[in-house]
Structure 1
């Protein structure tokens, strides 16, 4: 477990720092430099998108270690992203942040939360109770698909 994790709303001045965290997290799974560059536009965090996406960060010892977004409106929310810094993967940060995002979805009146999962994250989401409900095209890589998952609140 990572000590003293606090959750808070992301700040617009953190957009670049958060983009770097997202890219590190995605690259952790061994994707090639070419693949990562093809994903960069989709994974870039923009300050003006933070509030509408209900962006939340996890902070430990003054350092941002994870970020997630909750998009959509009731009855269906969408976990648009959840990225954890590689040095804290497996230490409970992602679980805590996901639980917070599910609570946030309940708070806005959502009945279901969906997400499009990176194949490497599927075991985590399945362990958290998400169920595969379909397949969607990748937003970055033509011809690539991602599994769509849902969680009933």
Structure 2
């Protein structure tokens, strides 16, 4: 499934943004996006050190990416169906503030509803909690630190996706 989204605030410099299912061939570019994310610099660097998105992960889960009209990667998300969780979501640094994250969340909601889900759990990167709350996520608790990779507690939220039609 590929969806095209355009309009006010719709693209990168007014261009179309497409969201499509990732393939195993996208694994390296998704990994690079994670590794280059400025959101995980400094004290958060340990969480993504050595992290990689493998072809097997893409084939097992619902992974979707957003690209611009020239095919440049803008962001992606990974929806795990059982148990329902938004496992990964990243927006490229150069695409921050352009509405890509909101588009990915709306796309994820559609996929989740289609899979029969009514909510999706998110264990958020602490600085991203405000974004998730701005798209309707509700705080449900705290996921405790898990050293050595994750040295801090993280907000746990749920994103309501509505009932399947």
TM-score with structure 1 setting the length: 0.87
CA RMSD of aligned residues (A): 1.9
> 1:121, CA displacement in angstroms?
0.8
The answer to whether the 8 Å contact 2:46/2:149 transfers is: no
Equivalent pairs, count:
147
1:22: which partner in 2? 34
> 1:137, CA displacement in angstroms?
3.1
1:122-133 alignment runs, 5 A limit: 122-133=129-140
> 1:51, CA displacement in angstroms?
2.2
> 1:39, CA displacement in angstroms?
2.3
User: Alignment partner of 1:51: what SS?
Assistant: helix
TM-score with structure 2 setting the length: 0.81
The 1:142–1:127 alpha-carbon spacing in structure 2 relative to 1, beyond 3 Å, is closer
Name which one, 1 or 2, has greater alpha-carbon Rg. 2
1:4-153 alignment runs, 5 A limit: 4-25=16-37, 28-29=38-39, 31-32=41-42, 35-41=44-50, 43-60=51-68, 61-73=70-82, 77-138=84-145, 141-153=149-161
User: Alignment partner of 1:80: what SS?
Assistant: strand
**Runs of 4+ more than 6 Å apart:** none
Consecutive unaligned residues in structure 1, runs of 5 or more: none
Q: Which has the higher contact order (CA 8 A, sep 6+)?
A: 1
